[in-house]
Amino acid sequence: MDPAELFYSPTHEWVHFEGETATVGISRFAVDQLSDLTMIDLPEVGRRLEQGKSFGEIESVKSVSDLYAPVAGEVIEVNSAVANDLQILSEDPYNKGWLIRIKLDNPSRPEGLLDYPSYQKQIADDAH
């Protein structure tokens, strides 16, 4: 997936919309900030997620961070390859490193998501 075509939450999760399904991951910026990933806790298929609420955790040698749902819906697929090998996420967070797929409660793009230029501005502002 092209990062410029994705939408982002202020907490660095990305989302790709395809009909009634959304694929969710974390941005390259988030992966780089965490560095040295050690563990990820992802939800089970069938779990209902609320937009803005935690759906799991990612741990690095530096810290433990919550993962937040950028959209509401039901988890229909979990990327078990990432759960078994975090190197995939470190190497390719936008394609092989996706985390979950969600059947959307509402297929329209929810409020609060940033397009790529807005997300890049947020990253630059956060760095100062």
DSSP 87-118: HHHHH-TTTTT--EEEEESS-SPPTT-B-HHH
When computed from its CA atoms, the radius of gyration of the chain, rounded to whole angstroms, is: 13
Q: State if pTM tops 0.85.
A: yes
pLDDT tops 90 at residue 96? yes
pLDDT tops 70 at residue 128? no
pLDDT tens per residue across span 76-90: 999 999 989 999 999
Domains in the chain (CATH in brackets) are 8-107 (2.40.50.100)
**Do 122 and 30 contact (CB within 8 A), yes or no?**
no
pLDDT tops 90 at residue 72? yes
